[in-house]
Amino acid sequence: MKLTPYGPGVLAATLFALLVPTPAPAAAHPFPGHPPHHSAQQITRFLTSFYGQHGPSEPKRYLHVSQQLREKQERTPEYDVLLCAQNEPQRIEIGPVTVQEYAGVGSATVTTHWGEDGTRTFTAYVRLDSTPIELDDVICAP
C-alpha cells in the first residue's frame, strides 16, 4: 500500500484554505493582528477639534464620547464631566499627547481658562483602538 500526500486530511485543509478568506496583512502595524492605534498627532487633532475654544458641542458630546463617559455624565447632571466645570470656559488649550501603548490609551492635559478665576486642568483619555476615535474618560484635577 502506497501512501500519497493527498489523503482526506490534506484535501479538507486545502478546501478550507481556499474557501475561508484570510485578512490582508496590516500595513506596518507594530502589533500584527491588533487593530490600528491612533497616533499622538491624530489624538491631538481629535482633542483640539472636540473641545474647540469653549467646549464640545452637543453632537460631539454624543457622537465622540464613550458610553462609559456618557453614563458618568448622566450620574452628575449638575456638573459638566467633559470640562470638569459647571459653566463654559473662555478658552481651552490641549497639551502634548502621551501615548501609552501598554495601557492602550493616549492622554493629554487640557487647560481651561476662566478669566480672572485663572486656569484649571484635567486629563483627557482616548483609547488607542477606538473606532471612530472618541473621548474615553476625563479625570479632573483636585
Judging by beta carbons within 10 Å of its beta carbon (0-12, 13-18, 19+), is residue 111 exposed, middle or buried?
A: middle
Average pLDDT over residues 29-56: 83
Q: Which three cell numbers stand for residue 57?
A: 458641542
Domain ranges of the chain: 36-140
Question: How far is the C-alpha of 115 from the C-alpha of 122, rounded, in Å?
Answer: 17
What are residue 90's DSSP bridge partners?
none
Class of domain 36-140: alpha beta
pLDDT digits (tens, 9 = 90+) for 50-93: 999 999 999 999 999 999 999 999 999 999 999 999 999 999 99
Residue 123 has pLDDT above 90, yes or no: yes
